[in-house]
Amino acid sequence: MTLHLSAKAPSEAQVPHYIPAGNECELFELAWKRKLPLLLKGPTGCGKTRFVSHMAARLGLPLSTVSCHDDLAAADLTGRYLLKGGDTVWVDGPLTRAVRNGGICYLDEVVEARKDVAVVLHPLTDDRRILPLERTGETLEAPPEFMLVVSYNPGYQNILKALKPSTKQRFVAIEFDFLPKEQEIAIVSAESGLEERHVAPLVNLAHRLRAMKGHDLEEGVSTRLLVYCASLIESGLKPSEAVSAALIEPLTDDADVRLALREVAAAII
């Protein structure tokens, strides 16, 4: 199936570089056209945010990204009354702005946010597509250009922070994972400028370290860390030092585990 992109398709240089793993670009565009909200599942640093900014640029839509944290409440998304020069004025939050003006609102790591956020998202993610603003008395209807995209990392979940089925089942979902070796080498090389033949051992090492996830490590090496590591090498740092700084130190604070990781690295790099 061919993709029909928006009339004001941006030039290639304006679209953030993204290598698809499958049919996710097509799925995203169809979900946008059919006004369906989208859930991206996958480990940190595997390309979810890049994918959303790539698609927003391709579709010519404004993008508003919110990194959710455990203090983020519904009012941070919808807006609040603020004092401005003696007057109290209503200021829209990022979600309200995206609903009023049309565009993509991307809530990264949505499970981290406070529970009242789900209450705001529910009427926006069924066929009503409305955002009731209790504080202003308005009920905003989302225009066709509005799309809600959320992401979460199922690996981080605990009982307290799972995404409820009643919320999960309101979204079309795409599962993300790290790309196959050849594609990941191409990405890391393109992003860092380091030649593919020098990137290949780093990706091999990442695969070894990812296999240790769940045993000695909570999380494996992300594509993001591989890009950092390759960028440091490209800028002249010794590979062993770059591997230590970008692929080992960020993974664990446990001295024994770090020692074991260094041994694995020394055998590959």
Closest residue to ligand ADP, judged by C-beta, is: 47
User: Residue 46 CB, nearest distance to ligand ADP (Å)?
Assistant: 5
Rounded to a whole number of angstroms, the minimum distance from the CB of residue 126 to ligand ADP is: 26
Q: What gap in Å lies between CA 175 and CA 11, rounded to an integer?
A: 28
> What are the residues binding ligand ADP (CB under 6 A)?
17-19, 44-50, 187, 191, 223-224, 227
* Residue 20 near residue 165, CB atoms below 8 Å: no
Local structure of residue 86 (DSSP, 8 states):
T
Query: Which residue lies nearer to ligand ADP by CB, 131 or 202?
Result: 202
Contact (Cβ atoms closer than 8 angstroms) between residue 120 and residue 66: no
Q: Least CB distance from residue 224 to ligand ADP, whole Å?
A: 4
Q: In terms of CB distance, is 44 or 96 closer to ligand ADP?
A: 44
Question: Residue 217: phi, psi to the nearest 5?
Answer: -120, 140
Spatial CA neighbour of 113 closest among 62, 159, 150, 81? 150
Q: Which is nearer to ligand ADP, 100 or 207 (CB)?
A: 207
Q: With respect to ligand ADP, which residue has the nearer C-beta, 46 or 217?
A: 46
Burial (CB < 10 A; 0-12, 13-18, 19+), residue 223, is buried
Report in angstroms how near the CB of residue 192 gets to ligand ADP at its nearest. 8
Q: How far is the CB of 190 from ligand ADP (least distance, A)?
A: 7
The smaller minimum CB distance to ligand ADP, of residues 47 and 94, is found at: 47
Query: Which residues make beta-bridge pairs with 103?
Result: 146
Structure-block tokens of residue 115: 């529970």
